[in-house]
Amino acid sequence: MQDNGYLDLFFAEANEYIEVLNNGILTLENQPDDEDAIAAVFRAAHSLKGMAAAMGFANLTELTHQMENKLEELRAGKLVVTTELIDLLFAALDNVQLLVKQIKENEGEEPAEFNFGDLIVKLSAYSENHEKEGSSQKQDSSTEKSLTLSSEEEKELAVEKKAKEKIYQLGVSIAEADFANVRAFMVFKKLEELGRVFKSNIAKAEVEDYEEDIDELEFYFLSWLEKAEFEAELEALSNASLNYLQEVKLQDFQSSSERESGELKKTNALNSFQSNSTVRIDIAKLDKLINMVGELLINKTRLQSLNIGKSKFNEIIPQLDRLTMELHHIVMQIRMVPVGVMFSRFPRMLRDLSNDMGKDIDFIMSGQETELDRSIIDELADPLTHLLRNAVDHGIEAAEIRKEKGKTEQGKIELKAYQKGSEIIIEVVDDGAGIDADNIAAKAVEKGIISQEEVEQLDKREILDFVFHPGLSTASKVTNVSGRGVGMDIVRNTVKKLDGQISIESELGKGSRFTISLPLTLAITQALMIKIAGDVFAIPINAVSETLTMETKNIKQLRGKDCIVLREQTIPLVSAAEIFAEEDFEAPKEETDKLSVVIIKNADRQIGLIVDQLLNQQEIVIKSLGNYLQDIDCISGATIIGDGDVALILDVRDIIA
C-alpha cells in the first residue's frame, strides 16, 4: 500500500493524460499532420511514463515508454501516421487504461501479472517498415544546425516566451555573395516583422560590418505565427533561401537533457513532474472561487458600513480591504487569457477567404498580448469571425475597382486589441468600400422597420446601427461567405451578452471600422450608486461619463424634448423615475430647482439621466437575476449592497437605445 496522497494524484493525473491521449490520437487519425496533436500526445505519454516510473509501476512504464518512443519518432518526422499505427496506439492506450484501473482496484499495487500479448513487440517493431520515405532533408539535417542554446539560454528563452508564442529554429542561406551584408540585414528586418529574434549566429549589429563570408544565418526565433504561415513568409524571401525550419518546444530542452543523463531515474521523473509550474484547473472550480471572493467582498463592504468607532476596527478594515482587493485581483488574473489565443486562427482564415474570392488582402493583427477574461474570449470568436468575413466579402473591393478609385490594389484589414481604461477594445478596420448609409436607410424603410419620416430624423450613425437589425442584410447578392442577414444581429447580441458594446463608423469609399468594447471581467466592477424613486440602483462606472447638479432653469428644449447643453454638446435628458418608478409612485413634493444628473454613455452616445440622489462609488459583485427574470428592460443584473439588500444594476444600453 503506497502513500495515498501520491496515489490520488497519480490517478487524477493519469486519467487526465489518458483523455488527452485518446482525443489526440483521434485527431491524428483524421489529421495526420496536426503538429499540435502530435506534440500533445507525446507530452501526455511522456508525463504518464514519468509518473508510472516514479510510482514504480514497471509494466505501465514499459508500455508508455513504447508509446512515447513511437510518438517521438512521429514528432521528429521519422514516421508517418498510418491506420496500423493508430490501431496500435489505441490498443496500447486501452491497456494503459486497464492497467490504471487494475492498480486502483489492487489498492495501489500493479497486478503481479499483466499480459500485453505481442503489443510491445509490435509497437517497437513498427518503425522498421514504415520509415517516412525520403523524410525531408530540411528537417533531418540536424547535423547542419550549428547554433545551439546553453542551458542558461534555454531558461532565459522559457522566460522570454509569451504564452502563445512558438519557438522556431531556422537557418537561411544568403542567395548571392554580392552585397551579402545587405541581404543578411534584409533577412533580419523581415524576421523582425514576423516576431522576435532570440539568438542568431551573427548578431544583427554585426551583420553590416561582417568581414567574412556570410553563407548561412541561423536563428532561434519567437513568433505568433503557425509553422505553415511562418514557412510561407520565409519562402517568400528574395534575399535568402530557407535551409531548415523547425518548431522547438520548451519541453524538448528537458527531454534532451534527460536523454543526455541516460536512463530516467524514478526520483527525477517525479521532480520533473512537480517542477512544472502550472496546473490545470476545472473552470467550474474557478468560478466557485470567484463567487466566494465576491461574497467576501460583499461582506467586507457590509462590515465597513457598520462604522464601529473603535480604533482596532479602524485598523483592521484597511488591512481587510487590501487583502480582499489583492485576492480579487489574483483570482481575476487567473481567468485572463491573451486574445492572441483566439486571434491565431484568423490569418489562415483570411488567407483562404481572400484566395477564394480572388482578393489581395494585407491582414494585420496587433495587440495579441492584450488579456481578457477567458469566458469572454470563448464567446468572442464567432462574432469576430463574422466581422472579418464581412470585411473580406463586402468591405474590400475587387482589385480593378480599387485601382479605379485610386486606392492601392491590395486591400487592408486590421484586427486590433488594446486596453482603454477599464475596457478592452477590439477593432476590425478595413479600407474597403464602406457602408452606404442611404442604402441602409432605404432598406430599413422597405422592410418596414422604420417609416420614411422617422428615418429622416436620424443621423448617419443611427442609420448605420440598422446594420445590426435582425433581417437586414445589405449584401445585394447572398454569398456563402456572408449575407444571410442574421449574422450582424447575432454579433450584436453576443457582444451585448458579454456586457460589451459594438459601434460602427464608416465612410463611403474609404472603409469601415467596427469597435467592440468589453469589460475587463464579467464578475466584479466599480459602480456609481444612485437613488431612483426611493430605491438604490447601481450604474457600472464604465458607462458613466460624468455626474453633475444642474438647475431646472438650464433645461433646454430641442424638438420638444428636454436637453442639457454641456461644453457645447447637446445631450438629451431622461427622467429615471419615468423608467423605473411604479406607476403610482409619487415623488416627494419637494420643490427643488436642483437636479442630479448622471451622464451615461453607450458607444459614442450620451444621455443625461435625472436621478433622485447621487450616493457613492463602490465595488459591486455582479449577479444574474437568473433565468426566471429574463430580459428585464433596462436592468442587466443585481448586486448585494452593504446592508444585505439587493440593488439592481441599470442596463445603460437599453436606456440609451
Contact flag: residue 623 with another protein (CB under 8 A):
yes
Interface stretch with another protein, choices 10-18, 224-232, 269-277, 293-301 (CB under 8 A): 293-301
CB 541 within 8 A of CB 526: yes
Angle between helices 35-55 and 58-75 (to 10 degrees): 160
Interface stretch with another protein, choices 144-152, 175-183, 249-257, 291-299 (CB under 8 A): 291-299
Contact flag: residue 298 with another protein (CB under 8 A):
yes
Q: Single out the catalytic residue among 95, 390, 542, 602.
A: 390
- Give the span between the Cα atoms of 253 and 159, in whole angstroms: 13
Nearer to another protein, 232 or 632 (CB): 632
Contact flag: residue 549 with another protein (CB under 8 A):
no
Non-local (6+) Cβ contacts of 66 within 8 A are 92, 120, 123, 124
46 in catalytic set: yes
Contact flag: residue 327 with another protein (CB under 8 A):
no
| C-alpha 208, offset from chain centre | 40
Of 238, 259, 104, 235, the residue nearest 179 (C-alpha)? 238
Nearer to another protein, 133 or 631 (CB): 631
Rg of the chain, C-alpha, whole Å: 31
Angle between helices 119-129 and 83-105 (to 10 degrees): 160
Nearer to another protein, 293 or 417 (CB): 293
Interface stretch with another protein, choices 55-63, 470-478, 590-598, 642-650 (CB under 8 A): 642-650
CB 59 within 8 A of CB 114: yes
CA atoms within a 13 Å half-sphere pointing along the CA-CB vector of 226: 14
Residue matched to cell numbers 513568433:
223
Question: Least CB distance from residue 486 to another protein, whole Å?
Answer: 20
Interface stretch with another protein, choices 71-79, 85-93, 185-193, 630-638 (CB under 8 A): 630-638
Stated length of the chain: 657
Contact flag: residue 625 with another protein (CB under 8 A):
yes
Of 504, 386, 384, the residue nearest 437 (C-alpha)? 504
Binding to another protein (CB under 8 A) within 481-500 occurs at: none
Question: Least CB distance from residue 608 to another protein, whole Å?
Answer: 19
Contact flag: residue 627 with another protein (CB under 8 A):
yes
Contact flag: residue 631 with another protein (CB under 8 A):
yes
- Give the span between the Cα atoms of 442 and 107, in whole angstroms: 75
Q: Which three-class secondary structure state does DSSP give residue 2?
A: coil
Give the pairing type, strands 646-650 and 535-540.
parallel
Of 420, 412, 356, the residue nearest 388 (C-alpha)? 412
Nearer to another protein, 591 or 631 (CB): 631
Q: Single out the catalytic residue among 68, 110, 154, 247.
A: 68
Interface stretch with another protein, choices 100-108, 435-443, 488-496, 624-632 (CB under 8 A): 624-632
Q: How many residues bind another protein (CB under 8 A)?
A: 29
Nearer to another protein, 382 or 645 (CB): 645
68 in catalytic set: yes
Nearer to another protein, 298 or 598 (CB): 298
Contact flag: residue 377 with another protein (CB under 8 A):
no
Q: How far is CA 570 from CA 546, 555, 565, 653, in A?
A: 15, 11, 5, 19
Of these, 84, 105, 107, 645, which contacts another protein (CB under 8 A)?
645
Contact flag: residue 535 with another protein (CB under 8 A):
yes
Q: Please name the amino acid found at residue 461.
A: R
Of these, 58, 182, 646, 657, which contacts another protein (CB under 8 A)?
646
Interface stretch with another protein, choices 39-47, 289-297, 386-394, 414-422 (CB under 8 A): 289-297
Contact flag: residue 119 with another protein (CB under 8 A):
no
Nearer to another protein, 429 or 621 (CB): 621
C-alpha torsion sign, points 494, 495, 497, 501: negative
Q: Please name the amino acid found at residue 641.
A: I
Nearer to another protein, 285 or 312 (CB): 285
Contact flag: residue 202 with another protein (CB under 8 A):
no
Contacts with another protein, 78-97, as mask; x by CB under 8 A: --------------------
Q: Which three-class secondary structure state does DSSP give residue 586?
A: coil
Euclidean distance between the first and final Cα of the chain, in Å?
A: 67
- Give the span between the Cα atoms of 271 and 263, in whole angstroms: 15
Nearer to another protein, 177 or 646 (CB): 646
Give the number of other CB atoms < 10 A from CB of residue 338.
Answer: 21
Question: Least CB distance from residue 283 to another protein, whole Å?
Answer: 19
Contact flag: residue 629 with another protein (CB under 8 A):
yes
Binding to another protein (CB under 8 A) within 550-609 occurs at: 579-582
Contacts with another protein, 249-288, as mask; x by CB under 8 A: ----------------------------------------
CB 186 within 8 A of CB 167: no
Of 388, 340, 346, 385, the residue nearest 367 (C-alpha)? 340
Of these, 175, 248, 615, 635, which contacts another protein (CB under 8 A)?
635
Of 588, 598, 605, the residue nearest 650 (C-alpha)? 598
Of these, 63, 437, 647, 655, which contacts another protein (CB under 8 A)?
647
Of these, 638, 652, 653, 657, which contacts another protein (CB under 8 A)?
638
Interface stretch with another protein, choices 27-35, 256-264, 419-427, 633-641 (CB under 8 A): 633-641
- Give the span between the Cα atoms of 187 and 480, in whole angstroms: 39
Of these, 339, 648, 652, 655, which contacts another protein (CB under 8 A)?
648
CB 415 within 8 A of CB 397: no
Of 17, 18, 20, 50, the residue nearest 36 (C-alpha)? 20
Q: Single out the catalytic residue among 46, 328, 394, 469.
A: 46
Burial class of residue 490 (count of CB atoms within 10 Å of its CB; 0-12, 13-18, 19+):
middle
Q: Which residues bind another protein (CB under 8 A)?
A: 291, 294-295, 298, 535, 579-582, 623-635, 638, 640, 644-648
Active site residues: 46, 68, 390
